Amino acid sequence: MARARNRPALVAHGGAGNAGPGVERPERRRGMMAAMRQGAGILRANGSALEAVVATVAALEDHPLFNAGYGSLLNSEGNVEMDASVMFAEPVAPGPSARGKRVRSDESDYTVSAGAVAAVSRVRNPIMLARAVMEHSPHILMAGAGAENFARKVGIRLERPEEMVTERARERWRARKQQAGILGAEAAARAAMGHGTVGAVAVDVHGGIAAATSTGGVPGKLFGRVGDSALIGAGTFAHAFGAASATGQGEAIILTALCREAVLALGDGSPQAVAREAILEMIDATGAEAGVIIVDRRGRIGYAHNATSMQVARYDPAGGLQHLWLAPIATARHP
Span near ligand GLY by CB under 6 A; candidates 21-29, 165-173, 224-232, 275-283: 224-232
Indicate which single residue of 14, 47, 233, 248 sits in contact with ligand GLY (rule: CB under 6 A): 248
Q: Does 71 bind ligand GLY (CB under 6 A)?
A: no
Question: Minimum Å distance from CB 311 to ligand GLY?
Answer: 14
Indicate which single residue of 71, 126, 233, 250 sits in contact with ligand GLY (rule: CB under 6 A): 250
60 in Cβ contact with 35 (< 8 Å):
yes
Q: Does 245 bind ligand GLY (CB under 6 A)?
A: no
Rounded (10°) angle between helices 49-62 and 126-136 = 150
Query: Residue 282 and residue 266: Cα distance in Å, rounded?
Result: 17
Query: Residue 126 and residue 255: Cα distance in Å, rounded?
Result: 23
Question: Minimum Å distance from CB 250 to ligand GLY?
Answer: 2
Span near ligand GLY by CB under 6 A; candidates 52-60, 86-94, 156-164, 241-249: 241-249
Whichever of 205 and 246 has its CB closer to ligand GLY, that residue is 246
309-316 and 9-17: which strand pairing?
antiparallel
Span near ligand GLY by CB under 6 A; candidates 85-93, 173-181, 245-253, 315-323: 245-253
- Sorted by sequence, the CB contacts under 8 Å of residue 45 that are 6+ apart come out as none
* CA nearest neighbour of 91 among 100, 83, 81: 100
Q: Does 217 bind ligand GLY (CB under 6 A)?
A: yes
**DSSP code per residue over 63-124:** STTSSSSTT----TTS---EEEEEEEEEE--SS--SSSEEEE-SS-EEEEEEEEEEEE-S-S
Residue 197 annotated among the catalytic residues of the structure? yes
Indicate which single residue of 6, 38, 197, 245 sits in contact with ligand GLY (rule: CB under 6 A): 197
Indicate which single residue of 48, 179, 247, 309 sits in contact with ligand GLY (rule: CB under 6 A): 247
Q: Which residues bind ligand GLY (CB under 6 A)?
A: 197, 215, 217-218, 227-229, 247-250, 253
Q: Which residues are catalytic?
A: 197
